[in-house]
Amino acid sequence: MNIDLLSSPLPRVVGVVSDEIAWRALQPTDADLVELRVDALPADRRTLPLRVPCPLPLLVTFRHKSEGGQCEVSEEERVAVVRSLLPAVAAMDWELAQVGHAEDLLKEAHGRGVCVIGSYHDFVGMPTRELLHDMETRAVACGADVLKVAFTPRAERDLDSALAWLREKHHVPVALMGMGDLASQSRTLFSRNGSVLLYGYLGNSPTAPGQWSASRCLSWRRDTCEA
């Protein structure tokens, strides 16, 4: 991998950028790595990383519409855009439900030493334990370096259930986070219990319900995990 997502300190803070203004304002101290949400950019700006270098390791995400993507394109176009960006990135995110459309892309990413995050998002509720195990099986099968699961807890029992799953023995490192009203509580809880990534927005716009700013994530990690 071009970046060690599991190096200390953990969790690694991912600063999420969803517009060109925030991209051009990036500083080396903003986060441990930067996620560029390509789906949030105008079509003619999607190759931005090839023209404006990133001062931090870059994670590229062209999110599928079914899991929160901000535009709808064919899988062929989505794969082509991400493939064109591989020379500039340290990591990429791809939905585990869509891996079948991107097997060659994932092979190329692995061949380049690009870290692959296999992801699953539920904007409605809590995935079943069976679904979580299925997502992990898919992550292992496609060679993902990290399994990312974002869900929407509705009650404390959802957090308890997710924490119990997180504490199980896994075959791949897990990044677990909640969205919505319990986002803050869930992310700090999971980060203290082994979740390897903590996402926060850069600029003015959160990219998920309840998401913290990247600066707040860094401050929380320093005060809580590095103290």
- pLDDT number for residue 2: 53
Cβ count within 10 A of residue 81: 18
Q: What is the pLDDT along the chain (227 residues), one digit of tens a residue?
A: 456 777 888 999 999 999 999 999 999 999 999 999 999 999 999 999 999 999 999 999 999 999 999 999 999 999 999 999 999 999 999 999 999 989 999 999 999 999 999 999 999 999 999 999 999 999 999 999 999 999 999 999 999 999 999 999 999 999 999 999 999 999 999 999 999 999 999 998 888 888 999 999 999 999 998 86
Q: 178 pairs with which residues across the strands?
A: 151
Strand order in the sheet with 115-121: 174-178, 146-151, 115-121, 91-95, 58-61, 33-37, 12-17, 197-201
Residue 138 covered by a domain: yes
Those residues whose C-beta lies under 8 Å from the C-beta of residue 90, and which sit 6 or more positions away, are 1, 2, 3, 33, 57, 58, 59, 114, 115
Give residue 195's domain range.
12-224
- pLDDT number for residue 1: 43
Torsion, Cα 151 113 226 218, to 10 degrees, reads -60
Residue 122 covered by a domain: yes
Looking only at the bridges linking them, the beta strands covering 174-178 and 115-121 are unpaired
pTM: predicted TM-score of the whole model, two decimal places: 0.95
Sign of the Cα torsion 106, 98, 122, 73 reads positive
Residue 190 covered by a domain: yes
**The CATH number of the domain where 109 resides is what?**
3.20.20.70
Residue 1 covered by a domain: no
**CA 44/CA 34 separation, integer angstroms:** 21
Q: Tell whether omega for the bond before 9 is within 30 degrees of 0, i.e. cis.
A: yes
Residue 132 covered by a domain: yes
Residue 18 covered by a domain: yes
Residue 47 covered by a domain: yes
Angle of CA points 72, 75, 80, to nearest 5°: 110
Count how many domains the chain has: 1
Residue 6 covered by a domain: no
